[in-house]
Amino acid sequence: MKKYLHLIWLLLLSVALLCGCGKKSGAPAATDEPEPTVTAEESTSVVCSDGSRTLRFRRNSDDQWEWVDDVSFPLDEACVAELIAAAQELETLPPITLPEAPEFYGLVGSKSYLHITRSDGSEVTYRLGKQSDDGGYYCCSSENDKQVCVAPEGIMAVLGRNIYDMARLPELPDLSPGKIRSAAITQGDATDHLAVSRGTWSRGGQDVTGEDQIQLLTAGLETLTVLKCVDYAPAAGAAAVCGLEPPAATLVLELDKSEFTLHIGEYSAAEGGYFVTIDDDTTIYLMDGQVPALLTGWSVGG
């Protein structure tokens, strides 16, 4: 009898093992972590405010994010993704005990918030209140306004960005020496014309490659950097205020298959760079100072 019972037990064990073999070996183990209620894929609208500035974004029919106030604005969609990621982080913060009345946390009527609409039409608002003793901000969700947590101090910097801080910056062409065919540098009525052939720079047929300002220019162009957007679709008079009407200097580079034009305005000590416009775009950008400083002080004719 024991022999038969032993055989039956082995048979049942074999069946269990065979059933287990049907599972995928790479299947993730179950966890107790809740799925985020806000995801990038299912978000259709995002509104953020730091109490003084409110920005509204929506996903358009092309599945791209746009600024509601001006859909032509060159929005860097990664900035909207950062707002959604901030909402996901707020969801994971541990709640605190509430020794004080809700009004103590500054959450009632607060104008600092992050509001997200999901594709199913549901909405959630994360409201920020007073700063805590450790520098963070008290926070609660509209889906559970009785639960208060402390958001990290950096959350307000994310919500308080200017729309220009969220602009997609222009991608500069390859300005390495081997790509340049000629250069024209203009200051007022004077223009310095330079030809470039196989790394040799010449002016009026004379080799000037070894000139200090030529060496500085070729080295600087490879590291030329646009720092930020200052003014998109600027109003009349804005270019003049930034020293761009007329520009202090203009650089025109003939490249292999294109042309690159840089108009340089005044230096802003507050911003830490030069105001510039690029090609025919009227948008005013801020650029690092190495090349603009060189060009505004350029010695025409060497």
- Return the pLDDT at 34: 55
- Return the pLDDT at 35: 66
The low-confidence residues of the chain, meaning pLDDT below 70, are 1-36, 102, 302
Q: How distant, in Å, are the alpha carbons of 244, 246, 268 from that of 241? A: 7, 10, 11
Check: CB of residue 262 under 8 Å from CB of residue 248: no
Q: Which residue has the tokens 């300002």?
A: 213
Tokens coding 115? 């509001």
Dmax over CA atoms of the chain, in Å, equals 112
- Does domain 43-166 sit in CATH 2.60.40? yes
- Return the pLDDT at 108: 87
Using a CB cutoff of 8 Å and minimum separation of 24, what contacts does 40-45 make?
40/81, 40/84, 40/85, 42/118, 42/119, 42/120, 43/84, 43/116, 43/117, 43/118, 43/119, 44/117, 44/118, 44/119, 45/115, 45/116, 45/117
Write out pLDDT tens, residues 207-242: 999 999 999 999 999 999 999 999 999 999 999 999
- Return the pLDDT at 164: 97
User: Of all helices (H) and strands (E), which one includes residue 79?
Assistant: helix 77-92
Contacts of 264 (CB under 8 A, 6+ apart): 244, 247, 248, 249, 250, 251, 274, 275, 276, 287, 292, 295, 296
Q: What is the pTM assigned to this prediction?
A: 0.81
Tokens coding 223? 């590291």
> Which 3 state secondary structure label does DSSP give 89?
helix
- Return the pLDDT at 14: 39
- Cα dihedral sign, 131-136-137-138: negative
- Return the pLDDT at 289: 94
For the chain, domain boundaries: 43-166, 177-296
b/e sequence 223-252, b meaning 16+ C-beta within 10 Å = ebebbebbbbebeeebbeebbbeebbbbbb
